[in-house]
């Protein structure tokens, strides 16, 4: 695993600030941008997976019970899942709550 | 030794690009452009140069194509002037920060307005801080030599930076001169095949041009600045090697009759040759006058400038661009900064002249020298006289 950006000194930077390790964007915690998070109401959820399909960050996964939930390491709280949900079972909740 | 031919300098420059065996030429094919790209288009169309000629729809695209092709490992060339450079500005900065070894000839012309197509240095000064290696060639021979030099330096794995070869538009580009071509063995000896530091290859994927968060940006800039500073010894080596192969020796700062000179002209570009004639005239008249020519603009040759200036009491800096409302000409302001800590800093007179192709003759340089003496007689040039629009009509 490469160093975090805050651990790199100027001499550690590769020429042109290029990134030589493919796919290391997966280590980037985009979840810390989030101010609201999606919460599923399982009484209304029909497990259709529309939220999973629409999530622009592929941050929604299926849990062992077949319900969908967000990986909060990546989820930016954009609310697209709640917007697209057919049954209206996803509610965006303030992170402060 | 190659043949010596009488040829338009732009055509000779295109032939030098051909000798460098470039893979891609991307350029906007109409004005502001020179015969350099026109001739390259002919060479490609006639099958004399095996390269992709990409006639893009704007200079912004030209420089973007150059970035892409160098990132793919192709030796790449482009050429522009003035407004064309202004239009490609965004990508010019990106090319340097991505360390992409593109070579560009900048046929220096005036940035409008008033609308103009003629020669001065206002275009290059608009990208002074773009992070490219920037050199000035004074004539067709120097242009030819510096095309090959540019590839050698840019592609040096320890450098990996874009190189801009500046040449005065029209005054040099459209003039017929005697140019000594290199022969193929000389080029082969001087310029090894391009082995890029970073290359886009599906077998070994990398990302070029990634987002830089605030946590990394300062470090990235320090890294880039140091890379440009550290290119200097490789630039010197490339000039040394060239001297061994073709017998012409270039330096970051060159001097003419500077030994014991009390007054010196400091020039950049083709005006240097005119100023040399003025130096001869002034020397004949018994004046203690010499000349300093700045060839390497970035990385700035601080040590060589300080060394060349030793013993000079009055320095006449010729600028062909303006920092409006600022310290006059960009060359003079950098020279002042470089000399600020020196014990015997010369009095500096800064003349702005030769805008948009207005002729400046050897006699004009003589008059600038007289004007400087007049100023120095009274006092060290003071703030109001820090820069003078030479020859401006009242």
- ipTM of predicted assembly, 2 dp: 0.87
Residue with tokens 């540019």: B150
Option in A6, A12, A15 nearest B198 (CB): A15
Same-domain pairing of B230 and B302:
no
> Which pLDDT does position A52 carry in this prediction?
98
B82 lies in some domain? yes
Same-domain pairing of B219 and B259:
no
Asked if residues B108 and B165 have their Cβ atoms less than 8 Å apart, the reply is no
B394 lies in some domain? no
What does the pLDDT look like over A31-61, one tens digit per residue?
Answer: 998 999 999 999 999 999 999 999 999 999 9
B47 is in which domain, residue-wise?
Answer: 4-246
The whole-angstrom distance between B172's CA and the closest CA on chain A is 34
Contact assignment for B97 to A17 by CB distance below 8 Å: yes
What does the pLDDT look like over B144-185, one tens digit per residue?
Answer: 999 999 999 999 999 999 999 999 999 999 999 999 999 999
A8 touches chain B (CB under 8 A): yes
Q: Domains in chain A, please, with CATH?
A: 30-97 (3.30.70.20)
In terms of Cα–Cα distance, which of B117, B175, B91, B115 is closest to B141? B175
Query: What pLDDT band is residue B380 in, cutting at 50, 70 and 90?
Result: low
Does the pLDDT value for residue B385 go beyond 70?
A: no
Same-domain pairing of B149 and B170:
yes
Same-domain pairing of B134 and B191:
yes
Option in A13, A16, A18 nearest B219 (CB): A13
Contact assignment for A12 to B219 by CB distance below 8 Å: yes
What does the pLDDT look like over B322-332, one tens digit per residue?
Answer: 999 888 899 99
B213 touches chain A (CB under 8 A): yes
Q: Which residues of A touch B206 (CB under 8 A)?
A: 18-20, 22
**Beta strands at B52-55 and B24-27: parallel, antiparallel or unpaired:** parallel
- Name residues 75-104 of chain B within 8 A of A (Cβ): 97-100
Same-domain pairing of B286 and B333:
yes
> Where a domain ends, among B212, B246, B280?
B246
Mean pLDDT, rounded, for B17-44: 95
> Which pLDDT does position A1 carry in this prediction?
46
> Which pLDDT does position B31 carry in this prediction?
83
In terms of Cα–Cα distance, which of B343, B393, B347 is closest to B369? B347
Contact assignment for B215 to A17 by CB distance below 8 Å: no
Same-domain pairing of B195 and B282:
no
Q: What are phi and psi of B26, to 5 degrees?
A: -120, 125
Q: For chain A, what is the largest distance between any 2 Cα atoms, rounded to a whole number of angstroms?
A: 55
Contact assignment for B99 to A9 by CB distance below 8 Å: no
Contact assignment for B219 to A16 by CB distance below 8 Å: no
Q: Which residues of A touch B207 (CB under 8 A)?
A: 18-19, 22
B265 lies in some domain? yes
B51 lies in some domain? yes
Mean pLDDT, rounded, for B67-81: 98
Please provide the DSSP assignment of B232-271 as one string: HHHHHHHHHHHHHHHS----SEEEES-TT-SEEEEE-STH
The count of CB pairs under 8 A between chains A and B is 55
> Where a domain ends, among B246, B265, B298?
B246
The whole-angstrom distance between B221's CA and the closest CA on chain A is 8
B230 touches chain A (CB under 8 A): no
Nearest chain B residue to A28 by CA distance is B213
Same-domain pairing of B350 and B310:
yes
Q: How many helices (H) and strands (E) does chain B have?
A: 13, 15
B198 touches chain A (CB under 8 A): yes
Mean pLDDT, rounded, for A74-91: 97
Nearest chain A residue to B98 by CA distance is A16
* Spatial CB neighbours of B58, under 8 Å, sequence gap ≥ 6: B28, B87, B88
Same-domain pairing of B294 and B337:
yes
Question: Can you give the CATH number for the domain in which B134 is found?
Answer: 3.40.50.970
Q: Is the pTM of this model over 0.90?
A: yes
Same-domain pairing of B73 and B193:
yes
Question: Can you give the CATH number for the domain in which B380 is found?
Answer: 3.40.50.920
Does the pLDDT value for residue B127 go beyond 80?
A: yes
Does the pLDDT value for residue B316 go beyond 70?
A: yes
Mean pLDDT, rounded, for B84-90: 97
> Where a domain ends, among B209, B226, B246?
B246
Contact assignment for A10 to B208 by CB distance below 8 Å: no
> Which pLDDT does position B384 carry in this prediction?
55
Q: Count up the domains in chain B and report the number.
A: 2
Same-domain pairing of B207 and B263:
no
B284 lies in some domain? yes
Same-domain pairing of B177 and B55:
yes
Same-domain pairing of B178 and B318:
no
The whole-angstrom distance between A8's CA and the closest CA on chain B is 7
B324 lies in some domain? yes
């Amino acid at each position: 695993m490469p160093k975090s950006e805050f651990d790199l000194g100027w001499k550690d930077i590769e020429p042109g600030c290029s990134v030589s390790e493919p796919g290391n964007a997966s280590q980037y915690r985009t979840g810390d941008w989030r101010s609201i998070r999606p919460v599923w109401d399982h009484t209304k959820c029909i497990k259709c997976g529309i939220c999973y399909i629409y999530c622009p960050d592929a941050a929604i996964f299926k849990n062992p019970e077949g319900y969908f939930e967000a990986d909060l390491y990546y989820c930016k709280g954009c609310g697209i899942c709640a917007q697209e949900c057919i049954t209206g079972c996803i509610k965006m909740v303030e992170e402060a709550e | 030794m190659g043949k010596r031919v009488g040829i338009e300098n732009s055509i000779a420059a295109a032939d030098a690009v051909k000798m460098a065996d470039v893979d891609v030429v991307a350029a906007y094919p109409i004005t502001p452009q020179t015969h350099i790209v026109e001739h390259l288009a002919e060479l490609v169309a006639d099958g004399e140069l095996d390269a992709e000629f990409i006639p893009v729809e704007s200079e912004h695209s030209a420089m973007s194509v150059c970035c892409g092709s160098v990132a793919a490992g192709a030796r790449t060339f482009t050429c522009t002037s003035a407004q064309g450079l202004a239009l490609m500005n965004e990508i010019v900065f990106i090319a340097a920060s991505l360390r992409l070894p593109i070579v560009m000839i900048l046929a220096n012309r005036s940035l409008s307005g008033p609308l103009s197509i003629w020669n001065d240095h206002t275009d290059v000064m608009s990208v002074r801080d773009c992070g490219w290696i920037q050199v000035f060639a004074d004539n067709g021979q120097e242009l030819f030599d510096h095309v090959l030099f540019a590839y050698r330096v840019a592609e040096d794995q320890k450098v990996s930076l874009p190189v801009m070869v500046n040449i005065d538009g029209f005054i040099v580009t459209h003039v017929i001169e005697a140019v000594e071509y290199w022969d193929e063995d000389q080029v082969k000896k001087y310029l090894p095949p391009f082995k890029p530091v970073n290359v886009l290859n599906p077998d070994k994927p990398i990302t070029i041009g990634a987002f830089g968060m605030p946590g990394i940006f300062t470090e990235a800039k320090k890294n880039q600045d140091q890379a440009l500073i550290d290119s200097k010894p490789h630039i010197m080596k490339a000039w040394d090697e060239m001297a061994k192969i073709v017998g012409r020796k270039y330096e970051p700062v060159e001097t003419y009759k500077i030994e014991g000179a009390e007054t010196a002209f400091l020039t950049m570009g083709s005006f240097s040759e005119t100023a040399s004639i003025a130096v001869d005239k002034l020397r004949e008249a018994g004046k203690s006058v010499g000349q300093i020519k700045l060839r390497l603009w970035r990385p700035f040759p601080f040590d060589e400038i300080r060394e060349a200036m030793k013993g000079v009491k009055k320095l006449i800096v010729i600028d062909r661009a303006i920092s409006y409302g600022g310290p006059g000409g960009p060359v003079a302001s950098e020279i002042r900064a470089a000399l600020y800590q020196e014990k015997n800093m010369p009095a500096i007179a800064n003349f702005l002249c030769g805008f948009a192709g207005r002729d400046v003759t050897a006699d004009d340089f003589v008059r600038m020298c007289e004007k400087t003496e007049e100023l120095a007689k009274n006092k060290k040039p003071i703030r109001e006289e820090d820069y003078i629009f030479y020859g401006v009509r009242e």
